Chain A
Amino acid sequence: MAGLELLTDQGYRLDGRKASELRKFQARMGVFAQADGSAYLEQGNTKALAVVYGPHEIRGSRSRALHDRAVINCQYSMATFSTAERKRRPHGDRKSTEMSLHLKQTFEAAVMTQLFPRSQIDIYVKILQSDGGNYSVCVNAATLAVIDAGIPMRDYVCACTVGFVDETPLADLCYAEESGGVSSLALALLPRGGQIALVQMDARLHQDHLETLIEAAMTACKGVSKVLDEVVRQHLQEASVHSRE
């Protein structure tokens, strides 16, 4: 039995997308009243909720405070019902710790932390439904939440996973593609300057293909940034209408 045909001869993927097509975005900002910033994002069937508190004083031990910039604290978790198999997911398991760390690195690169010395920014992200590209959806959701909180950032941070099949890069992988033996790469980009906040890849890939893959990832991230921008502008418009009333 041959494996799944990830890319047909006609250039369609399993879910009918073309190779460089992104999944459908659905987003809302400001979903919680008590948090400083929050956002809900659906990318295809992957759904994430991000909440931001801060900047505020360092809670707990004061020794963690940095004298010249803010500390970013990230926490990633997955809902028990987020995957096909219902499973209790305790906090602080290896996978989520790693993911939290990645998120922290990404946002340290993007948030202008030097404006808030000796303070702390908390970013909590929860995956409600997981269908591939968890990291990128979390980054995108968190970006929206940080913007909602009004914390200054250098630029949007946009992330996207790309995979490589039949010499073609596939943008924004879904779960079936991720688990179908594709070597995938996750990339977080500050699109205006083209700076890369984070690249992560733990599959085998020939060196020759890396450049095309990163190229494709950056294009996809720029696409994501356009969508996010639209979401933010829409939200602002709605908010201003509300406040005028």
Chain B
Amino acid sequence: GKVLPGDLTHYVVPDAGVVLNYLDVLELTELQGVVFTQTACEALRSKGRFYNHLRNLLKDPRHDCILFANEFQTYSHCPREKGESQETWQTCVYAAAVWFYNHLAGAMKVVMITEDQDAVARFGSLNSGVFVISVQQDYLQNFWPDLQEAHEVYRNISQVLQEKESEDSQREFSEHLPAEIVEAGIKSGRYLKGTLNVNRYRAQSEAFVTNEEFSNKSPLINGVLVFGFKSRNRAVHGDLVAVELLPKSKWRGRGTALAEGPLDENSGEDGESNPLPTHIVGILQRNWRDYVVTFPPRDGNQNQSRGSQRILAVPWDQRIPKIRISTQQADALQDHRVLVRIDSWPSNSLYPNGHSVRVLGRVGDMETEVQTILLENSINVPPFSEAQQLREMPAQPWTVDPTEVAKRRDLRDTHLVFSIDPRGCEDVDDAMSVRSLGDGLLELGVHIADVTHFVREGSLTDLEARSRATTYYLADRRYDMLPAVLSADLCSLLGGVDYAMSVLWELDAQSLAYKDVWFGRTLIRSSYQLHYELAQALLNGEEAPVPELAQLDPKERAAKLSELTAALEKLTLVARHLRAQRDQGGALELEGLEVKALADSLDQAVDPEDPLVNRLLRMMATQAMSQALYFSTGSQPDHQFYHYLALDRYTHFTSPIRRYADMVVHRLLTAALQVGQEAEPARKLEGNKDLEELAEHINTRNRAAKQAQTQSVALFQYLFFKERDPQTDPRCVADSIIYAIRDNGVLVLVPRYGVKGPVYMKTKTGEVVTAGPDGTCEWQSGTVQRHPDHIVTTCGCGSTTFRLFDHITVRISVLPSNCHADTLKLEVISNKPHRSSAPQRPDSQGRSQLVQEVVRLAEEAQEKAAQRPKLSKWEREFQQSRAPNLYSILEEIRELALM
């Protein structure tokens, strides 16, 4: 377990009351040497609040805190006195502190902190070497006078506590039923259990409770409706709740008022199914996390509450209700984004009570907004600590260890190894080689950086990488999974000697048929670091400067160059062959059929005049597909997982630098390789249960990473247009294409910027868009009629039709929203394609320029172009089937649609 460092001035023992109420203060990493007593933990557990929080804290190697099982210790245990409740069992905590002090033979001072003044008076004078003091006045002020954060958090919490006591008891909600009754009701079928999902667009009124069980029972019922704020009964989005069906007299249909609600991507077709209305009777599990909220600008109305210290802050996520926060800094925090934690939601309060944890910054600042996106997706990426960076990394400059050399197959002199990556790529995690073995055999090698050699399982770096699970790519930056020392230097297969995990295939040189395969750890020396353009140029036989050869004399250079080119040609040949083989194979496999049919039909769905149509269709096809997930093969029966990627088994291990899943695969592979040998694996492998949990964790992290990426792109699009005047700037007018029809408008894609969004055809006052003879559109009162493939607006002077895949011209302006994510507003200005004088730029360039522009505007010195996770072309060709599988379609679309 963990050991407290010895170089502290004192250890601190909080009593049960402090742990219960001020855990937030104690969890600051700056407070070191905290000894939690078992008594305090049990008190916390009996309250059911934050117990898991505390457990994680104790497990986290970054926090210097330990648990002392004092009730199990003969000499520190003392029986509870009559009438003493669990929270006020100070004698026991004090006895533990005294024991601890004596156990350390007085070498370290022990401080017991409590909020109870009686306890201070009772024990403080006992004079046994243990100081008993109160949290705020004595402890924080004397020991941590500079730790403002702790003082701030302390003040916030104590204010919340005070208010809780003096709360008037006017009921706003009905009480939740006790847990036993709810459990019994669920068993008998009277109540249903499920997760609450609030409708993002009608957050005040509509929410659904979904549960895997009902969707299994019948596909028609995919959830029950919880209508209205009152029947939601203090549940927050994501909570596990129990619901009861309402009496029939209170039934009402689901709001079909699409006309007033904003257009959303999903509410297209499901108007027919009417979910059953219910109300929430109990909450089984709160899933509260920390929320980002915005403090509203101060206006006169807020002053009415006493002391004017309580502010209703609006969460960034629309699905979360407003949170009431008590603070003395209300003025300073106006228009700031703040991270808050919900404390409680008593039944007499319309809103939950919370306290602020951290101030992120002013609304609209790029840094603040990026932090908001990260936090809202629960992405926690602190800089790597010193321990992770330095202590666990091998000393620099790093040299090859001779004992490792003996264990590995040495490919340094025998193989010509090189890597091909996008230009400017820093973390090269795969390289390849090809050579002829004679006897008509060809050896193809793929070499992956051996990250697991450097990152020992269970080390701090490993724990951090595991909790991050992936490298996060945002529009303008990225957060690495591993410290830079590893990802950019040690593990990168740059020039020089590297450890690698290699796969060597033996192929027949003529037919390219598979003969044999070898897996293992190797030692390689990458001779060339190529990029795509260079590789293509070499293949085409063009004159291209290879930086590694620049120093050599012309003759030698020519020889080396021809060697390299030959290798590249051979690889291309193999790649083509494999692709052709997969194309054939795909048609033969049963489960491949659908995929291939889909891919084929997508290939045929081309409008000769408009390349965008095909791209849009592909994009929409992918949206309908479910996301690939990681899982532990031991947890599912065989027949459940064959259909992923139309292959029997599939895993990947080519990017261990940026995917934790690949590191897991590396470890499994290493263990599998060791099975044959005498040596036992150094550590026991993870069991099925652990792997399943890990896979689930990686899946949620990947989802969060993707979501954060999307949101950050949207943010940059917004920031870009915020600076422009939509009326005058030509860049705000762009061509767009209609890809979906809704009741009161259409959804369009602006290819130039990769912006997707709704275009309204009708306003709330009944005005509709009509096009004049030259195509310019105006607002006039009229009606809108929706058809499957077109939408018609009719007014006094005629009607206009907008068809699917029509090109229209839109004006892009910003729709500022103070508290939530800002959005872009698209307005139709003409139903003709936009003819701009400037030639259309390719998308990816347009987008990276957009980001750069924003970054420049934000006065960021660093200019970083958008970096998306890039799958190297070669990897895709060697590791995966190309044309007819979902994966490559998805990849292509991701590139095209700029998601």
Contact = CB atoms under 8 A, between A and B. Distances in A.
A167 B55 CA distance: 19
Given A16-B69, A16-B72, A9 B55 contact: yes
Interface string B42-86: 000100100000010011000000010101100000000000000
A9 B58 contact: yes
B179 interface: yes
A9 to B, nearest CB: 6
Nearest to A18: B72
Interface string B164-189: 00000000000000010000000000
A123 B67 CA distance: 48
Interface in A1-37: 1, 5, 8-10, 12, 16
Contacts of B58: 9
Given A1-B48, A9-B58, A167 B687 contact: yes
Contact of B72 (A1, A9, A12, A167): A12
A188 B67 CA distance: 37
A58 to B, nearest CB: 52
Contacts of A167: 687
B1 interface: yes
B71 A10 contact: no
Contacts, number: 18
Contacts of A9: 55, 58-59, 67
A16 B687 contact: no
Contact of B67 (A1, A5, A10): A10
B687 A10 contact: no
B58 to A, nearest CB: 7
B1 A10 contact: yes
Nearest to B48: A1
Contacts of A12: 69, 72
Nearest to B690: A167
A10 B66 CA distance: 10
Given A16-B69, A16-B71, A1 B1 contact: no
Contacts of B71: 16
Contacts of B67: 8-10
Nearest to A11: B1
Given A12-B69, A16-B69, A1 B179 contact: yes
A5 B72 CA distance: 15
A11 to B, nearest CB: 9
A4 to B, nearest CB: 10
A16 B39 CA distance: 13
A5 B67 CA distance: 15
Most A CB contacts (10 A, CB to CB) among B69, B71, B179 go to B69
A9 B67 CA distance: 10
A142 to B, nearest CB: 32
Interface residues of A, number: 8
Contacts of B1: 10
B861 to A, nearest CB: 46
Contacts of A8: 67, 69
B390 to A, nearest CB: 28
Nearest to B55: A9
Contacts of A5: 45
A34 B179 CA distance: 55
A5 B71 CA distance: 16
A1 B1 CA distance: 27
Most A CB contacts (10 A, CB to CB) among B48, B71, B72, B179 go to B72
Contacts of B179: 1
Contacts of B55: 9
Nearest to B71: A16
A60 B1 CA distance: 64
B69 A10 contact: yes
Contacts of B59: 9
Contacts of A10: 1, 67, 69
B634 to A, nearest CB: 11
A8 B48 CA distance: 16
Nearest to A206: B688
A52 to B, nearest CB: 37
Nearest to B52: A2
Interface string B671-711: 00000000000000001000000000000000000000000
A10 B71 CA distance: 13
Interface string A162-191: 000001000000000000000000000000
Interface string A124-168: 000000000000000000000000000000000000000000010
A1 B182 CA distance: 12
A12 B71 CA distance: 11
Contacts of A16: 69, 71-72
Interface in B476-533: none
A16 B67 CA distance: 14
Contacts of B72: 12, 16
A180 to B, nearest CB: 15
A9 B51 CA distance: 13
Contacts of B45: 5
A144 B770 CA distance: 101
Nearest to B67: A10
A16 B71 CA distance: 8
A198 to B, nearest CB: 30
A8 B71 CA distance: 13
B755 to A, nearest CB: 46
A111 B203 CA distance: 75
Interface in B573-611: none
Nearest to A208: B687
Interface string B642-676: 00000000000000000000000000000000000
A9 B55 CA distance: 8
A36 B91 CA distance: 51
Interface in B329-370: none
Nearest to B284: A1
A9 B59 CA distance: 8
A33 to B, nearest CB: 38
Interface in B1-46: 1, 45
A12 B77 CA distance: 15
A16 B76 CA distance: 13
B56 to A, nearest CB: 10
B817 to A, nearest CB: 39
A18 to B, nearest CB: 9
A92 to B, nearest CB: 34
Contacts of A1: 48, 179
B573 to A, nearest CB: 47
A167 to B, nearest CB: 7
Nearest to B689: A167
A10 B72 CA distance: 12
A181 to B, nearest CB: 15
A235 B55 CA distance: 48
Nearest to A166: B689
Interface string B771-804: 0000000000000000000000000000000000
Contacts of B48: 1
A9 B66 CA distance: 11
Nearest to A16: B72
B691 to A, nearest CB: 13
B707 to A, nearest CB: 29
A239 to B, nearest CB: 33
A226 to B, nearest CB: 22
A8 B72 CA distance: 12
A12 B687 CA distance: 22
7 contacts: A5-B45, A8-B69, A9-B55, A9-B58, A10-B1, A12-B72, A167-B687
Given A1-B179, A8-B67, A9-B59, 15 more contacts: A1-B48, A5-B45, A8-B69, A9-B55, A9-B58, A9-B67, A10-B1, A10-B67, A10-B69, A12-B69, A12-B72, A16-B69, A16-B71, A16-B72, A167-B687
Give the 7 A-B CB pairs with smallest separation, nearest first: A16-B72, A12-B69, A10-B67, A12-B72, A10-B69, A1-B179, A9-B55
Interface of B: 1, 45, 48, 55, 58-59, 67, 69, 71-72, 179, 687
Interface of A: 1, 5, 8-10, 12, 16, 167
